[in-house]
A = this chain, B = another copy of it.
C-alpha cells in the first residue's frame, strides 16, 4: 500500500471512500425557538423546556444528547450494543455535555472538538472507521445549547447584554447519525440511500479577526479554504454539488465566503446554503445574523438535508460545518478567533 497505490487519498487533504459508508439514520432534537423556526415541522422532537427537566444548562444539553442518541438508535432499529464506536463532542469546556450525555450508552467513545465544525469531524471519522474496516456501525453525535453557550463564551443570561447584528444565536439542539457498512444494511424501501462519498479535512485558518460577536466573519475564511480544497482535490466545479451547505456562517459570513471564492473565480452563489440562515426566521425571531453552534448544522442536516436527499430533491451535497476556535480565556487574553471547517461529501444513490 505505497503512497501512490491508495486510491483513498485524493489531492492534498481529501479522502474518497472505496465503499462509501451508508448514513442509516439521523435524529434531530430541537429547542423551542428552533421548533418555531422555518424547519420546526421537520425535527423529530421539539423540546419545549429549555432545562429539559434538569437543574443546569449543562445537564439540559446532556439530556438533549441522550435523546438524540436514543432516537437515532430507534430510527435505525439498533441497540446501543450494535454500535462499535461513538464519536462525539460539544462546545462546552472539556466536552462535559458529551461525557455526561452519552456515558450511559456504554459505547467505546472517541471525544472530538472542532467547535461548531464538530458534526463534520464526527461524520468524517465515523466514515473513516467504517470504510477502513475498523467498525461496522458508528454513531456520530453533537449538541449545543443557547444558554449554556452564552454562559460559556459570553455573559450570563441574567446580565441581559445587547447583541450586535453580526452576532449569531446558538442553536439549542442535538443531532446524531449512524454510519454503517453498506454491505450490512439496506436503506428503507422507496427511499434513496444516503452515503458518504468522501471528506476533506480542514486546516486552522486565521485571518486575524478578534470579534467573538462576529463569528461568521471569523469562520468564513476556513469555509473558503476547505471548499476550495475540496473542489481542487476532486477536480470538480461547484455545480458538481446540488448544494454546498455551510454550518453556521450566517448572513455576514455567507457574504464573505461568496466574495472570497469569487476572487478565485469560483461562484457558489446559486447553490450555497447555510444552516444558520435556514434554521431561524431572522425578522420574526430576532436572531440577527443567524443560528450557530454544533447543533445548528447537525439538526439541519439530519432533519432537512437528509430529507431532501432521501426524496431525491438533491443528489450531491457538500456539507461543510464551520467552527470558531476560541475560548473565554483566549478571547479575554486578546487572541484572534481562528476558524476551521471540515467537508463531508454526501450523495443520494
Contact = CB atoms under 8 A, between A and B. Distances in A.
A199 B262 CA distance: 45
Contacts of A327: 92-94, 96
Interface in A282-305: none
B330 A85 contact: no
A100 B202 contact: no
Contacts of A59: 333
B330 A94 contact: yes
Contacts of A109: 201-204, 340
Nearest to A14: B108
A132 B8 contact: yes
Contacts of A328: 93
Contact of A92 (B133, B152, B329): B329
A91 B91 CA distance: 14
A115 B109 CA distance: 13
Task: Please list the 9 inter-chain residue pairs (A to B) with the smallest Cβ-Cβ separation, ordered nearest first.
Answer: A132-B132, A93-B93, A94-B327, A6-B133, A108-B201, A103-B204, A99-B325, A13-B108, A111-B113
Given A94-B327, A111-B114, 13 more contacts: A3-B181, A6-B133, A58-B333, A89-B113, A92-B329, A93-B94, A96-B330, A99-B330, A103-B206, A108-B202, A109-B204, A110-B125, A125-B125
